[in-house]
Structure 1
Amino acid sequence: MANILDSVDLRTQLVGENRLELLIFKLHTSQLFAINVFKVKEVVKLPKLNSLPGSHPNITGVANIRGLSIPVINLRQAISMRHGEEEGECNLIITEYNRSVQGFLVGEVMNIENLTWRDIQPPPSQVGRNNYLTALTKLNRDGAERLVSIIDVEKVLSEIIEYNVHISDDVLDQNIVDHLHGRKILIVDDSSTARAQIRDTLSQLGLEIIEATNGLMALNMLKKWCDEGKNINDEILMMFTDAEMPEMDGYKLTHEIRNDPRMNDIHIALNTSLSGSFNEAMVKKVGCDRFISKFQPDLLVEVVQDRLRDIL
């Protein structure tokens, strides 16, 4: 237990520094891809896979890793990347997203890069909505600048596992629901899939949704309202923010909000696919009011209802 707590403490010391670590890999082409190290449990050579009849076409099979059966997703196929060499080094990146464990079949796994979120940029608007990227960054390799594409894993998974937006009847508090209609919620997330899940869930209650695709955009929006003399709590009921976002992450966003007396009482819920004691500690460190794992519609509704109860 001491080792776990020491690890958590070391990571929480980075709060406010707006940093991340990326695992860099290839998909049997020269192009570089990445995912956040926080979501990676381990990397192993591709083991023998067992077939899984009737599974989604992007699931290559099931790997047995220390007694745990893990579905393996062909990442190159899942992001509709058609060109590449079929032969070559194959590795399995085992990840945990939204309380589930899965493996991604990739090619060469290269290294871990420590960057700031300021180094990370959203993909250009010209790529359209059907791309599988949340962001881009650049690295120097052998004296040349290389582009790195950061995968939108939530979108990849949403096409394999249908995310539910159904709200259970027994979750709804009719004494509260009637007061939700027309109130506004700010959601901050770089994944269009994640924003859609919150929007499609909470709009059923008559809530109006304001969206921002990264922490800096959200912070600028909030500061503008303050500069205009608006009371933030009159503008929004609360804010849901992701942890990982280009330019400014959710931890830094919360840190900035809590240090601005004009808006430091915003009710903030960290809504993230990252899980575990690390995030619980980060929530306490930066001053979020709640921490919830993504894609739990009933829990989203409970958090909003609890917030409204506090102010009625």
Structure 2
Amino acid sequence: MTGVLNTVDQRTNLVGENRLELLLFKLNSRQIFAINVFKVKEVIKMPTLTKMPGSHNHITGVASLRGEPVPVIDLRRAIGFPPFHGDQEEEQNLIVTEYNRTTQGFLVGQVRNIINTAWTEIQPPPKTAGRANYLTAITHIQEQEQIQIVEIIDVEKVLAEIIDYDVSISEEVLDRDLLDNMHGRKVLIVDDSTTARNQVKGTLSQLGLEIIECRDGMEAYNLLKSWCDQGKTVTDEILLMITDAEMPEMDGYRLTYEVRNDARMKDLFITLNTSLSGSFNEAMVKKVGCDRFISKFQPDMLVEVAQDRLRDLLSPNK
């Protein structure tokens, strides 16, 4: 099982090329689900768990992995399926992941394989799909001359329903002298997760900022281009853009690359706000030209970035 991921570290060249790799798995149902390989630390057979009294009902227990406690989430139950029963005939595996600076395991059924695909092949889920609330996107694979749908899990929503994310701002971070100048300015948020967009929106709206939302990099890029085509100055329209890294159609790295290579919008202040691992993203920030990097979800850091950007604009040297 661990051999499935033994080349993950060699795949960073996919990022920034508008490509990704997905780890496919099942939840002991016919559907095929997936998450981004870059969020996966390892895949193992289901270990012995310790029950935690009073924990969320989606938490099956805690696994001890190399001496570190890792909460295990029953992914079937978390997305609205009946929970795993623990039958001996029922295949159970643990996908250990790193999201939002925390490590957690997802209890799944069969773990299949990794596929390499382009973000242009990733589509938003149908609006009428019953489980769309737990999907960020879908894609397709061909198996035995049949086209199969792959459903990409919105892990941020799954985690947000277990962990209460606090959007309050620390008093020592908030610069009240800037609030009057903040009021009415606009920020563009680009993220395929409704949960993630709401977290950023709930934080920055406290500053009096107006929020413009886009669901993927292509939608955001088309919006920016439309402003330029109308003769508008992008940096006058928005204070900054806050973008996720992994999104359908166009990822955040490619979005940043395209912006930096368009003379009409190249000076836009861009912050990468992602749940992917910090050290990797810090390198990618420099490569594609983002101004700042934030590992989700940190309200105080979002506020600091917005305040720093405004201070820079208000500086007499500007």
> Which bin holds the TM-score, normalised by the shorter protein?
over 0.9
Instruction: Please say if 1:77 is aligned against 2:66.
Output: no
**1:129 deviation in Å?**
8.5
Note closer, same or farther for the CA distance 1:16–1:276 as it changes in structure 2 (3 Å cut): closer
Note closer, same or farther for the CA distance 1:14–1:109 as it changes in structure 2 (3 Å cut): closer
Determine helix, strand or coil for the equivalent of 1:270: strand
Q: Are 1:123 and 1:136, in contact at CA under 8 Å, matched by a contact in 2?
A: yes
**Which residue does 1:263 correspond to in 2?**
265
| TM-score, length of structure 1 as denominator length | 0.94
**1:305 deviation in Å?**
0.2
**Which residue does 1:47 correspond to in 2?**
47
Q: Which moved more, 1:120-129 or 1:269-278?
A: 120-129
**1:96 deviation in Å?**
0.4
**1:15 deviation in Å?**
4.7
**Which residue does 1:241 correspond to in 2?**
243
Q: Are 1:75 and 1:104, in contact at CA under 8 Å, matched by a contact in 2?
A: yes
**1:232 deviation in Å?**
0.4
AA partner of residue 107 (structure 2) = L
Instruction: Please say if 1:31 is aligned against 2:10.
Output: no
Determine helix, strand or coil for the equivalent of 2:81: coil
- Please tell me the root mean square deviation across aligned C-alpha atoms, in Å: 1.8
Instruction: Please say if 1:299 is aligned against 2:274.
Output: no
Structure 1, residues 170-195: CA drift from partner, whole Å, max 9, x if none?
11112222210000000000000000
Determine helix, strand or coil for the equivalent of 2:309: helix
Note closer, same or farther for the CA distance 1:146–1:286 as it changes in structure 2 (3 Å cut): same
AA partner of residue 164 (structure 2) = E
**1:14 deviation in Å?**
3.5
**Which residue does 2:288 correspond to in 1?**
286
Aligned equivalent of 2:188, options 183, 186, 189: 186
Instruction: Please say if 1:155 is aligned against 2:145.
Output: no
Counterpart CA distance in 2 for 1:125 and 1:258 is: 32
AA partner of residue 249 (structure 2) = E
Identity of aligned residues (%): 67
**Which residue does 2:310 correspond to in 1?**
308
Aligned equivalent of 1:142, options 141, 144, 148: 144
Determine helix, strand or coil for the equivalent of 1:280: helix
Counterpart CA distance in 2 for 1:176 and 1:143 is: 60
Q: Are 2:18 and 2:118, in contact at CA under 8 Å, matched by a contact in 1?
A: yes
Aligned equivalent of 2:176, options 154, 174, 177: 174
Determine helix, strand or coil for the equivalent of 1:277: helix
Runs of 4+ in 1 over 3 A off after TM superposition: 7-16, 82-87
Larger relative contact order (C-alpha < 8 A, sep ≥ 6)?
1
Counterpart CA distance in 2 for 1:295 and 1:251 is: 19
Determine helix, strand or coil for the equivalent of 1:154: helix
Counterpart CA distance in 2 for 1:78 and 1:288 is: 34
Counterpart CA distance in 2 for 1:142 and 1:192 is: 34
Note closer, same or farther for the CA distance 1:12–1:181 as it changes in structure 2 (3 Å cut): same
